[in-house]
Amino acid sequence: MNEHLEERQGNLYYLEQAPITKAVVHLSVPMMLGMSVGVIQSITNAFFIGKLHNTSMLSAVTLGLPIFTILMALGNMYGVGCGTYISRLLGEKRNDEAKSAASFALYGSLITGAIVILLALLFIHPIVQLLGADADTIGYTRKYAVALLAGSPLIIANFALEQVVRAEGAAAVSMKGMLISTAANLLLDPLLILYFDLNIIGAAVSMALANGVSILYYVWYLQRKSEVLTLSIRSFKVTKAIVSNTFKIGISELLLSVFLILTTLLLNNFSVLYGDRVVAGFGVALRIVQLPEFLCMGLFMGIIPLLAYTYAAKDMVRFKQAIGTTGLCIGLLIIVFSGIVFAFRTHVLQWFSTDEGVIGTGTKILTAMLVSSLFTGFTGLFTSIFQAAGQARQAAVMSVTQGLIFIPVIIIAHRFFGLNGIIWSLTVTEAATCGIGFAMFALLNKSLKKQPVIEVM
């Protein structure tokens, strides 16, 4: 009977009726796989730039990471905001409003991308200086920044649509889009960086074009295959409800990334004091540790539609079961994958650089980041819970807490412990942020016990 129900309801079956373990696997595994191969894009850029044997170029790619982060954040602002709203609307059977929210995500993100290009043209010089570039890296950093910012509409829209398709439970579609983008990046990187000798510019253009390819796939799916959603211009509406629900949750994602950028900028500016080798070591270590962290991210981001749908439908039993199952999976993933990366950390670093200084410093940095990942996965889970439940205040607190704690921690740690203080400041910050998230979740869980429970069979 369940097989017939699954066939009839498609992706919505996993939000409404599927056993929790089956639903979590369906929603999160494709997201985990997609995000894991998505890490390949970042690693690929560093790998092919590394083939040019130019430490300044490798440092420029690292210094330019905040730009990609803010573009991703703008996309996630629309994606998470509209996506969680769409899932809640579907849980309340308000399908027409869900269609309008999906269209708003696409057209809003494209317009935002165009605005970013205009602002970049006006402020590119202070932007490059803010990234922490020095005399050796400023030229390369400027070229990389300009090329990446030129692709703003494609990058922002891609991240928005990737989460819109997941809002109705189409996790496999989201994964395919990420795979398409990664494959395109793998083809374009060697072509543009090495063959056409565009080096640092080729890395940025390759990333932007790869995002554009996946947009085409998402548009095709939403227009032709989606059970409910559409991107038709006729469904595009700018209503108070859509704008309010999109940005009150989406802004937490933007704030999270803004403070993540602030964290990266502080790391860049402090690490620059110790030379290009330390900057490059941070950049390579960041890319390696992304694998276990992105697997966890796939889990807690993958279940957001399920949490939002069940919360709106007042199915608190299913809501809490989803949280418990996901938390257990995150704990196991962190222990297993971080353990593997830790065991082979020196050998992995040697894939990216033959410079003994980069490898030595990178090993210390990677060790601290792997310890930090023990807390990062659960911090992300708490944030996803608040976003899915429409708890804008709690989601915003989680978004700004890390940055607010990190600023004094890194300043004090650097003053008393030098480079080692910089390296371990992120670990201290993540532990504190995770503790705050747990405390707020405990309060939310207490309030849910007072609500009437509806168990869907």
**Cβ-count burial 66-104 (b if 16+ within 10 Å, e if not):** bbbbbbbbbbbbbbbbbbbbbbbbbbeebeebbbbbbbb
pLDDT for the residue 456: 38
pTM flag (> 0.85): no
Residue 5 maps to a domain: no
Calculate ∠ Cα 392-388-16, nearest 5°.
155
CA 26 to CA 456: how far, in whole Å? 19
Residue 34 maps to a domain: yes
- DSSP structure class, residue 452: P
Residue 454 maps to a domain: no
Provide the terminal-to-terminal Cα distance of the chain, rounded to the nearest Å: 13
Residue 4 maps to a domain: no
pLDDT for the residue 454: 43
**Cβ-count burial 243-276 (b if 16+ within 10 Å, e if not):** eebbbbbbbbbbbbbbbbbbbbbbbbbbbbebbb
* Residue 286 token pair: 């960041």
Calculate ∠ Cα 64-70-72, nearest 5°.
105
Amino acid identity, residue 190?
A: P
Residue 3 maps to a domain: no
Helices 356-388 & 65-91 angle (0-180, nearest 10): 20
**Cβ-count burial 423-435 (b if 16+ within 10 Å, e if not):** bbbbbbbbbbbbe
CA 103 to CA 85: how far, in whole Å? 13
- The number of domains in the chain is 1
For the chain, the residue count is 457
For residue 183, give its domain range. Answer: 14-448
* Residue 126 token pair: 């202070």
Mean pLDDT for back-to-back runs of 10 residues, the chain (457 residues):
45 81 86 67 74 80 82 89 91 89 94 94 88 81 92 94 89 88 90 87 92 95 89 87 88 77 77 77 75 80 87 88 91 84 77 71 82 87 88 84 86 88 88 92 80 44
